[in-house]
């Protein structure tokens, strides 16, 4: 009688060992350990056992049940750990794809237009000294632009640059003219953050120094950029202004498409390089002339893409950034 049970146990364990995946293991469980399974059926035959043998039969059946349950758990664990067989022809699970930040992309597009107009790309450090940020750019010692409240001065000297005009000096110090460069990057000014103000933003600086450079070259360069970047209907307007590093100086407006209609947008400043700037880098202003301009990248990107709040650009909320 117990020999029969031994044989059943052997059969059950053998069949379990061939169940290679979680589905087969579950089918085995239903067949052997289920509510209507074979073990239940064998238990039901207790009534056919001679009463004096019943306790021993019950014990043996319990041992069988324990053995099958333990074997089942082991097999279930093993097949789940092994996972389903790998089908290498299945398409993979898509992972979120990153993309370039809208400011990086806009900057690259601006630089690309100027590159096609013959401007090389230059860079300069974000941690600067006052010579490059102010003095060499003809900003007097007592000029309000230098005030502590409007700049990030660093302990132990130096500052975060407040404008990319610093790169004009960085380039002219090392490279003899003719020089024709654009430089893009971050600039820093303490500000209360709101929809249009942030204490860090991006500028694109342009500089052309050569013999006989005129205001006409400046205007046609800016117009060439406007047409390439905003389309043939774009226009450029220069309004007289003042910057220490240019003389004469002007504010630059460009007429661009904003939400479907053409509007004038103030983008930055420009002018003819001040003779004092040329002197500061050891160039003779009698021989060399130049123009310079500085454009705000956020202003361009926000109008172009209809972004209402500058803070969204720097909060790194993927739901916002994914849209571009
Ligand atoms: N650096 C100026 C600013 O941040 C912008 C600027 C004006 C740059 C005139 C220039 C320039 O190169 O010629 O407000």
Instruction: State the Cα–Cα distance between residues 209 and 292, nearest whole angstrom.
Output: 9
CA 290 / ligand 1 centre spacing (Å):
14
281 lines ligand 1 (CB under 6 A): no
Evaluate if residue 236 carries a pLDDT over 90.
yes
Q: Are 275 and 285 in contact (CB under 8 A)?
A: yes
Share the mean pLDDT of the chain: 93
Evaluate if residue 2 carries a pLDDT over 80.
no
In this prediction, residue 295 has a pLDDT band, given cuts at 50, 70 and 90, of: very high
Beta bridge partners of 204: 184, 295
Which range, of 73-87, 156-170, 197-211, 298-312, averages the lowest pLDDT?
Answer: 73-87
**Domain range list for the chain:** 2-82, 102-321
The pLDDT > 90 percentage for the chain reads: 69
- Return the ligand 1 atom nearest residue 207 CA: 12
138 lines ligand 1 (CB under 6 A): no
Q: Which residue is it, tokens 């103030």? A: 266
Query: At what angle are helices 102-116 and 297-305 packed, to 10 degrees?
Result: 110
Which range, of 36-45, 99-108, 142-151, averages the lowest pLDDT?
Answer: 36-45
CA 203 / ligand 1 centre spacing (Å):
9
274 lines ligand 1 (CB under 6 A): no
Q: How far does Cα 74 stand from its chain's mean position? A: 46
CATH of domain 102-321: 3.30.930.10
Nearest to 163 by CA among 188, 198, 146: 188
């Amino acid at each position: 009688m117990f020999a029969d049970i031994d044989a059943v146990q052997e059969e059950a364990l053998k069949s379990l060992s061939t169940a290679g995946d979680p589905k087969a293991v579950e089918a085995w469980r239903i067949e052997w350990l289920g509510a209507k399974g074979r073990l239940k059926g064998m238990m039901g035959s207790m009534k056919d056992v001679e009463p004096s043998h019943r306790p021993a039969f019950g014990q043996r059946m319990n041992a069988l049940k324990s053995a099958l349950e333990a074997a089942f758990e082991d097999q279930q664990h093993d097949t789940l750990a092994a996972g389903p067989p790998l089908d290498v022809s299945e398409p993979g699970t898509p992972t979120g794809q990153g993309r370039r930040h809208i400011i990086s992309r806009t900057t690259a597009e601006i630089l690309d237009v100027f590159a096609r107009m013959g401007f090389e790309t230059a860079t300069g450090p974000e941690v600067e000294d006052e010579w490059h940020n102010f003095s060499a750019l003809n900003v007097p010692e007592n000029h309000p632009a230098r005030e502590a409240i409007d700049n990030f001065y660093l302990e132990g000297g130096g500052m975060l640059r407040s404008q990319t005009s610093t790169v004009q000096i960085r380039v002219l110090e090392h490279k003899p003219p003719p020089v024709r460069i654009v430089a893009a990057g971050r600039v820093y000014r303490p500000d209360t953050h709101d929809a249009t103000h942030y204490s860090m933003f991006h500028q694109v600086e342009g500089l052309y120094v050569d013999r006989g450079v005129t205001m006409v070259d400046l205007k046609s360069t800016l117009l060439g950029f406007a047409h390439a970047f905003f389309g043939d209907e774009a226009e450029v307007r220069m309004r007289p202004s003042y910057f220490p590093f240019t003389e004469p100086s002007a504010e630059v407006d460009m007429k661009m498409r904003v939400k479907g209609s053409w509007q004038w947008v103030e983008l930055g400043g420009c002018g003819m390089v001040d003779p004092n700037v040329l002197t500061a880098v050891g160039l003779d202003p009698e021989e060399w002339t130049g123009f310079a301009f500085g454009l705000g990248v956020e202003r361009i990107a926000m109008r172009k893409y209809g972004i209402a709040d500058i803070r969204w650009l720097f909060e790194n909320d993927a739901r916002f950034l994914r849209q571009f």
